[in-house]
Structures are given as structure tokens and as C-alpha cells.
Structure 1
Amino acid sequence: MNLESPKVSVEKSAQELFDLLTDMKNFEKLMPENIAKFEVIGEDSFLFGLKGMPEIQLKLKEKTAPNKIVFGAASDKVPFTLITNIESVATNSCNVKLDFEGSFNPMMAMMVKGPIGKFIETLATNMPKL
């Protein structure tokens, strides 16, 4: 299952946004309003829970400054990656888009497609708040 967020324009340099997104504590500012739990676990991972959904731990898997950051699920129970693509537009402006790639059975995919789509859209639209 692959989902994409809308492309969002951010008034920061690509490097500045990259630095903000590789600091786990900044993700709390991106979370939707229905967040039930957020906890930084280490330099490269954080745990979050949304009301009505199981808690998920995201771990930084790969980063290529200043254009790409890949997070993956820390648990093999729900295998997925969340890829942040940052595109420089000008000195103090960039575009960002999130790509979600998950391996779910058809029943699970049907159940999580809506909530995950809304979640990554919220993360992307909150990027200018950083």
C-alpha cells in the first residue's frame, strides 16, 4: 500500500527543514490534534499514539542531507516506511512531500488507508509550523 501526502511549501531552506526533521522532538509539533501519546525514545526514534489506534514507534533508517529522510516501523508487526522528500526551491524555501509504503494484508490495508492517509496529510500540512 502506497500513499502520498500533498506537496507543501515551507519557508525554510531545505537544509534547515532537514535538520528540524532529524531532531525527533520536533515531530510532536507535527502531530494531529487527536494525539494520545508522544515520547522521544532516543536520538533516532520516537513513539506516538493516536486515539483509537495502536502506538507506533518510528525509527530513523536513512538520511541523505538535505533531500531525503526515511523512517521505518521499529516493530516487524506493522512493516512500513515513511519517506520525507525535500526539494529546494530557493534559498529560504523548499517543498516537502511524504510517501508512505506499507506491507499489509488486504483487510488491514482497507482499515488503515483512511487514517494513515489523513495522518501523513496532517504531518505535511503542519511542516510550516516548525
Structure 2
Amino acid sequence: MSVFESAVTVNKPAAQVYAFLADMNNHHRLMPDNIADWVSTTDEASFTIPNITSLSLTIAERVTDSLIRIIPTGKPPFEMELKWALTEADNTTKAVFTITAGLNMMMKMLASGPLQKLADEETTNLAKLLS
């Protein structure tokens, strides 16, 4: 499994960061601009990455104020899991976003850069939105 991780500190309590991340409707605001056809509910989202693939995701686990685990539904192009882990200290929250992906050697060469960029962009956007 390949792991892509990005962390950010948000100047908000964990409960506020968790409330934002626990609603899949808010995740569109974290995604890169090239995401198309976004449709979401509180628990699920589907979208298209133009010229690459369509994905459907669902929240598989919520641990209040500390963890949100998101998995694909249907048939993704590769096995994957997205996870937000939150830790609060002094009214700030460290948010760590991890993408775990089962990539073969060829897919790893093609997808590693974009997946790391996605992880970094999501944490950067989270910090901007909740500042």
C-alpha cells in the first residue's frame, strides 16, 4: 500500500473542524478546481476527475472530534482509503489527511504525484476555509 499524507494546524477547536469534515457536502470545497459533476449528501459524494475516472465515496467511520474514515463505493480504479485524524491542543487542531492506495508499480509511477498533491491541497484548503 502507498501512503500519501499531509498535515495542517487549524486555529479552531477539534469539534468545529470535525463538524465541517463529517459532512461530505463540505468536501467539495476542499477538492481541486478540476473536479467535475460533484453530487453529495451528508454521508456520500460522487464526482469525476476529468480524463481520469469517476469516484463515489462514503463515510465508513466517524469518531466524534477525532476521526473520519472515507472509503470508495462501487468499483474504484484501485483500492483506497481516505482518513482525517484530528488532535486538539490549546484551541487549535492538528488535522492529518492520509490517502492509502493499493497501487501497482505502473500506477504508483503515474498516480503518486497527483495523490500527494491532492492530500496537500485538501489540508491547505481546510486551513484557508476554517481560518
Please give the TM-score of this superposition, normalised by the length of structure 2: 0.88
CA distance in 2, matches of 1:123, 1:50: 15
Letter in structure 2 aligned against 1:110: M
Tell me which residue corresponds to 1:112: 111
What's the CA shift for 1:35? 2.0
Q: Is the 8 A contact 2:25 2:42 kept in 1?
A: no
Tell me which residue corresponds to 1:53: 52
Matches within 5 A, 1:40-79: 40=40, 42-77=41-76, 78-79=78-79
What's the CA shift for 1:72? 0.7
CA distance in 2, matches of 1:12, 1:52: 37
What's the CA shift for 1:107? 1.2
**Structure 1, unaligned stretches of length 5 or more?**
none
Count of equivalent residues: 127
What's the CA shift for 1:70? 0.5
Tell me which residue corresponds to 2:123: 124
SS at match of 1:55: strand
Tell me which residue corresponds to 2:27: 27
Tell me which residue corresponds to 2:5: 4
Q: What's the C-alpha RMSD, in Å, of the aligned pairs?
A: 1.4
CA distance in 1, matches of 2:23, 2:30: 12
What's the CA shift for 1:127? 0.5
CA distance in 2, matches of 1:38, 1:76: 18
SS at match of 2:108: helix
**Structure 2, unaligned stretches of length 5 or more?**
none
CA distance in 2, matches of 1:59, 1:111: 25
> Once superposed, which parts of structure 1, at least 4 consecutive aligned residues long, lie more than 4 Å away?
none
CA shift digits 1:77-119 (9 cap, x unpaired): 421001101110223x111111111112211122111111111
CA shift digits 1:4-46 (9 cap, x unpaired): 11x2111211011111111111111111122223110x33110
Please give the TM-score of this superposition, normalised by the length of structure 1: 0.89
What's the CA shift for 1:68? 0.9
